[in-house]
Structure 1
Amino acid sequence: MSLLEVKNLKVAYGGIQAVKGIDLHIDQGELVTLIGANGAGKTTTLRTLVGMVKPAEGTIQYDGKPTGKTPVFDFVRKGLVMVPEGRGVFGRLTVEENLRMGAYYRNDESAIRSEIDYVYELFPRLKERMTQLAGTLSGGEQQMVAMGRAMLSKPKLLLLDEPSMGLAPIIVQKIFEIVQMISKQGVTILLVEQNAKLALEISDRGYVMESGRITMSGAASELLSSDAVQKAYLGE
């Protein structure tokens, strides 16, 4: 069953059309990746899915219902959660306070506590720094905080925008392992990622976006072995 269904989505900034009539769908439990060069319209697509940008045309259905009239703050409550590019941690709050922000609308304290402990198991480094201000952490640690915070929101569909950007290779590996782990727990994931090879290796399906259009889609393994994708995104 489709958890997300996007039809003929068009998004314009000023006079510029950033997204030019795309269709995509994500089924319950899938890990789907969206790859493409900088400026292809990937981040705009994600921001539109969570209501931060209004589409000029087209429809978005999440969990069987149109999202057009959903207020931005309500998306998280409905389980549609985004980890933005650049991480977006609250720099003047501690690591633990940041994690708790993910659960701001929940009141099941014992479950929240055990989920925070689980995040510390996944990211032992965060446990060591739980009382440290998030703004003083390294980029990799901030990415861990952002992903942990998203998990505290109990996502049904998790949107990840460039989680590996600017991180050291060893940290990138860890982040991708965690993405896989979250997926195996049954969370549906849409991953936007510059590192096309790593993203496709862990995904079920993929879409390729160029200049605001979806130009290819298919099983991740097919895209990995496609000559066009290898030339454009895998440096081969």
Structure 2
Amino acid sequence: MVNAANNVLRISGLKVAYGGIKAVKGIDLEVNEGELVTLIGANGAGKTTTLKAITGTLPACKVEGTISYLGQSLKGTQSFHLVERKLAMVPEGRGVFTRMTIQENLMMGAYTRDDKAGIDADIAKWFDIFPRLKERAGQLAGTLSGGEQQMLAMARALMCHPHLLLLDEPSMGLSPIMVDKIFEVIRNVSKEGITILLVEQNAKLALQAAHRGYVMDSGAITMTGNADDMLHDPRVKAAYLGE
């Protein structure tokens, strides 16, 4: 159930500059409790930079503005402490631990927990959702296909029971069948009440899954609104849906 009165993530006046290049130009964005919010836009619009600003994983650059999570500033928070605060991210390119097995990757996702029975139950749950991972539980993650690695990256992030899940281009480079599976899981995770900020180039799928959307272009937010309304907006159709 979406609760607009309960703000999970709020970004105000965010600017990111690499030398003289302004990658993000003073954006405002918010995600409320239980929402699935998508940030869409062309490649190079500044979407991934925005996520990296939230998680504190940007290379050396100038960052201005405020980012608050559950009412507290994230400024100065080291990225590895975010998981302890129930903020998890599935990065672009998946970022699995290639020299660890699938089972070990999932265990790493639960490193902040000490409830062994609960961890075992969650691993069983994800093996049920992604049978391919179960079949390959002892296999090194680096030997998996791109789609299998995306499954693993999502399951690993969800092992910490995040309050906020950040997803960066989860459909990138995947087959249509795998994309459908990943988005099915995203919708189901949202139905479970987990708050999600989804960065995605596949605007149609993203808006179909989301409650609200933001359009980012050249480092600025150019449009925001109800996802279904945006899906039928002629400007969005022309620019991002190929219609």
Normalising by structure 1, we get a TM-score of: 0.98
Indicate conservation of the 8 Å contact 1:162/1:194, yes or no: yes
Structure 2 residue matching 1:58: 3-state secondary structure: strand
5+ residue gaps in structure 2? 1-5
Would you say the 8 A contact 1:9–1:55 is kept in 2?
Answer: no
Structure 1 unmatched ranges of 5 or more: none
Which residue is 1:35 aligned to? 40
Which residue number corresponds to residue 75 of structure 1?
82
Letter in 2 for 1:39: G
Does 2:210 match 1:203? yes
**Helix, strand or coil: the match of 1:116?**
helix
Contact 2:18–2:62 (Cα < 8 Å) also in 1: no
Distance across 2 between alignment mates of 1:79 and 1:160: 14
Q: Which residue of 2 aligns with 1:139?
A: 146
Amino acid at match of 2:78: P
The residue that corresponds to 1:12 in the other structure is: 17
AA partner of residue 197 (structure 2): L
In 1, the alpha carbon distance for the partners of 2:24 and 2:106 equals: 33
Q: Which runs of 4+ in 1 moved over 3 A?
A: none
* C-alpha distance in 2 between matches for 1:34 and 1:113: 34
Letter in 2 for 1:83: V
TM-superposed CA distance for 1:29, in Å, is 0.2
| Partner residue in 2 for 1:49 | 54
Does the CA contact (< 8 Å) of 2:211 and 2:226 recur in 1?
yes
Instruction: Tell me which residue corresponds to 2:226.
Output: 219
- Please say if residues 96 and 130 of structure 1, whose CA atoms lie closer than 8 Å, have aligned partners that are also in contact: yes
Distance 1:171 1:64 in 2: 36
- Judge conservation of contact 1:51–1:71 (CA < 8 Å) in 2: yes
Q: 3-state DSSP class of the match of 1:186?
A: coil
Q: Counterparts of 1:71 and 1:178 in 2: how far apart (Å)?
A: 29
Measured against aligned partners, the alpha-carbon deviations of 1:107-163 in whole angstroms (never above 9, x if no partner) come to 111111111111111111110010011111111000000000001121100000000
The answer on whether the counterparts of 2:83 and 2:112 sit within 8 Å (CA) in structure 1 is: no
Identity over aligned residues, as a percent?
A: 61
Q: Do the aligned residues in 2 keep the contact of 1:48 with 1:55 (CA within 8 Å)?
A: no
Q: Which amino acid aligns with 1:140?
A: G
